[in-house]
Structure 1
Amino acid sequence: MKFLWVIALIIFVIYIIISDRKSKNRKDYKEAPTPSKNPSNEPLVKRWWVWGLILVLIYGFFVSTSNKAENHDETYKTTAPHSIKPSPVKKRKKLSDYASKKVSKFIPVKNTAKAVTLGAGKYKVGRDIKPGRYVIKAVKGSGNLSNSDFTINVILGNDANGDRLTSFTTNLVKNDKIKIDWIESTSFTPTPDKYTYKTKISAGIWLVGLDIKPGRYVIRPIKGRGNLISEDGSDDNLNEILGKNAEKGQVSKVTADLTAGEVILSTIELIGLSKK
């Protein structure tokens, strides 16, 4: 609308200029007529109604601009939300949350796990797999094993090669969601009911005070490479890559104080713990 007012004003001004020039040209080539009081012979720029029309056009231009601004403000007030809140982000479970619930559940009671063999696919604990503590192995083929919160996220195969593991030991509780990719056949074998302290630990999730005796240890990779992570509710947690390639950020050993209740996650085929 503002654009149309501007165009109208420009056209009108051009019309006045052209008309005045034509009038002047006629005076140059013709004898001046007898003076007349008729206002129609006066130049357009000297007529009151011309300036009145120009003022109307200018007024209309500014009124149109003002109304547009008011409409914009009103529209903004109507459509703008009072507040914008981000969608809630589901917090990923901590390792300590995972194991404190899952490991402690099996300390005073018998392991309720039941052996089962599954192919590739998605499964739910409590429906397809009984809750309990398992040693999970790839019987045929190799591929990924993971759960819904990615506390479990490893590559299983028939032999340990690079990041591939032959087994992973962990607790599975009701409503856990397990995903098996590209593995033809995977076995879930219950662990023994009796817990004993170990100084050699395969890949899996372990609890200090149940699987490992509390104390100060030097931890080394015996076979394979991978992550060694611990959580004990403090800031003094382990987070190392154990292996033999220092150029890739791997370390050959780590010394740590392991306390009762501390959760250990290892994605290394086999590690050794030596008392210090």
Structure 2
Amino acid sequence: MANDENKAPFYKRWWFWLIVVIVLLIIIFSAGRNDEDNKDTTNTGTEETTNDTNNKTKDNNRTNEDNDTTKEESAAAKRDNSSAKETTLNAGKFTVGTDIPAGRYVITGEGTGNLFVYDEDGLPVVNEILDKSADMGVPNVTTDIKDGQEIEISGLNAVTFTPAKTKLSNKLTTGTWIVGLDIKAGRYNVTTPSGSGNFFIYNNLGVPTTNEILDATGEMGVKQITVTLEDGQQIGISGLNEVDFTKK
């Protein structure tokens, strides 16, 4: 019997199968460890990529915010209004550069009366009824007055010229405004919440490209105008307390 066992093929011996089982266990154990390592590596890589993406997005958002702030500061810097000084005038006729310094002003009056500003050719560049209550006219006018122009005030005891500050806004009042300084360039729907008046857009050569009567009710003019504003264009608003620009 002992001789038969020694002559049996090695794959029928008990120790051979013991070795096979041990080898299989080692292979299975090693494969499991490799899978866990791969998962950890993949997860770590994904987390790092996600964090990098989030950080880049935050950095981009900060950069865009900084750029917007810089643009607004830059726009304000392009309009030098250092020559303007607060001045109060009564009824009468006055010369810009003599009776009041040239500059950009917010003009308000006590009571109700007429305000005219004439250019050097005698043509009215401002023709408004000033009315503090805004019942019969507009409460204020924001515009630039230049050396040599003539101001005429009628029916008002006091008209105050306050130096205007430059800031970007989507709500503009009676006066003159520059795209890129007072409102951002873009495509807008233009409306007014009340009243009616004139709305103009002038190109860089001073030629009107838009000339409409804007009316909140639509009875005396149009209720809405769709426009594309470009940097450097001038907007003229007359007889309207407020004009709203809604981005399209």
Instruction: State the TM-score bracket (shorter-chain normalisation).
Output: 0.5 to 0.7
Distance of aligned partners of 1:178 and 1:235 in 2 relative to their CA distance in 1, 3 Å threshold: closer
Aligned to 2:139: 166
Q: How do residues 184-203 of structure 1 correspond to structure 2 at under 5 angstroms?
A: 184-192=157-165, 195-203=166-174
Given the two structures, how large is their TM-score scaled by the length of structure 1? 0.57
Deviations 1:170-220 (A, max 9, x none): 01111111101111111100112xx32110111110001111111100011
In the alignment, structure 1 residue 238 sits paired with structure 2 residue 210? yes
Deviations 1:51-72 (A, max 9, x none): xxxxxxxxxxxxxxxxxxxxxx
Query: In structure 1, how many angstroms separate the alpha carbons of the residues matched to 2:154 and 2:207?
Result: 35
Distance of aligned partners of 1:109 and 1:245 in 2 relative to their CA distance in 1, 3 Å threshold: closer
Once the two structures are TM-superposed, the CA of residue 247 in structure 1 deviates from its matched residue by 3.6
Aligned identity (percent) is 35
Query: In structure 2, how many angstroms separate the alpha carbons of the residues matched to 1:181 and 1:123?
Result: 12
Unaligned ranges ≥5, structure 2? 1-74
Aligned to 1:141: 111
Query: In structure 1, how many angstroms separate the alpha carbons of the residues matched to 2:108 and 2:222?
Result: 27
Counterpart selection for 2:100 from 113, 129, 136: 129
SS in 2 for 1:255: strand
Aligned to 1:265: 236
Alpha carbon RMSD of aligned pairs, Å? 2.0
Larger radius of gyration: 1
Counterpart selection for 1:154 from 106, 128, 131: 128
Unaligned ranges ≥5, structure 1? 1-103
Q: How do residues 21-36 of structure 1 correspond to structure 2 at under 5 angstroms?
A: none
Query: In structure 2, how many angstroms separate the alpha carbons of the residues matched to 1:239 and 1:108?
Result: 26
SS in 2 for 1:246: coil
Distance of aligned partners of 1:117 and 1:235 in 2 relative to their CA distance in 1, 3 Å threshold: closer
Query: In structure 1, how many angstroms separate the alpha carbons of the residues matched to 2:206 and 2:126?
Result: 22
Query: In structure 2, how many angstroms separate the alpha carbons of the residues matched to 1:240 and 1:204?
Result: 15
Is the 2:191–2:216 contact (alpha carbons within 8 Å) kept by the matching residues of 1? Answer: no
Given the two structures, how large is their TM-score scaled by the length of structure 2? 0.63
